[in-house]
Amino acid sequence: MVEQNRPYVVCHMMSTIDGKIASGVKGVEILNDHFEIYTQVEHLLEAKAWLCGRVTMEMFAQGVGTPLPPLTKEVDSSDFIAPYNGSNFMVAVDTKGLLRWDSNMITLSNQPEKEHLIVVVTSQTPKDYLAYLQSKSISYVFGGQEEVDFGELFHKLKDKFHIDRLLLEGGGLLNGSVMAAGLVDEISLLVTPLALNKASAPSVFERRTDDVDVTKYSLFEVKQMDKDTVWLRYKKKV
């Protein structure tokens, strides 16, 4: 079998019975009572790298949108790979350069090893933000011109950081973008015994399109967890 030039991507999510991953109301959490199960399963998936969107990564950031130091040097459009130890990575998509950091390492409650932070940017990301990341010794990689090209991004994650397995834990838009690119190899879905019944609440996958493009998966594992939660695992049909 020919080795892929990108990581194996597992979309790991938790939802209500009707497929909602959040309430859609800021400050109102609906899945917190089951979060311990989510982190337990996350550990079982044995990944060394996580990919999340900007909104999700706000919980790890020092701030959002605060003023940056003035740009005092020229910054080119090359990837910046900061020195790091270990083999765990947290990949944050922040193409607008809004998140602020106090460290280039991220701590997860269920992981003994800290994760080296990698920020995904594009050619449109402000140069002063790139300089700011360099000053913090935070790695960043260009994922495209105006929008993220996930094929290009994943190739870089494999080539530059040797990431073989990646957990996709985004919001619906990030998950939907990776799905649209045909790059979700496996879905790990925890279904909780809740029904939100709210059309505007975000779902697991939320690509903004009028096209009908169905991706087929095969169920290969079902496991009942605590608190009437069910763990479903699907692999992409080839």
Question: What confidence category does residue 150 fall into, taking pLDDT thresholds of 50, 70 and 90?
Answer: very high
Chain-wide mean pLDDT for the chain?
A: 94
Say if residue 2's pLDDT is above 80.
no
Which residues lie closer than 8 Å to 175 by C-beta, 6 or more apart?
Answer: 11, 13, 168, 184, 204, 205, 206
The predicted model gives 201-214 an average pLDDT of 88
Q: For residue 211, what pLDDT is reported?
A: 81
CA angle 235, 108, 53 (to 5 degrees): 60
* pTM for the whole structure: 0.94
Q: Are 34 and 229 in contact (CB under 8 A)?
A: yes
Question: What confidence category does residue 3 fall into, taking pLDDT thresholds of 50, 70 and 90?
Answer: low
Q: For residue 210, what pLDDT is reported?
A: 77
Closest by CA position to 36, among listed 108, 90, 114, 110: 110
* pLDDT tens string 29-79: 999 999 999 999 998 998 889 999 999 999 999 999 999 999 988 999 999
Say if residue 108's pLDDT is above 90.
no
Percent of residues, the chain, with pLDDT higher than 90: 87
The predicted model gives 102-120 an average pLDDT of 89
SS3 112: coil
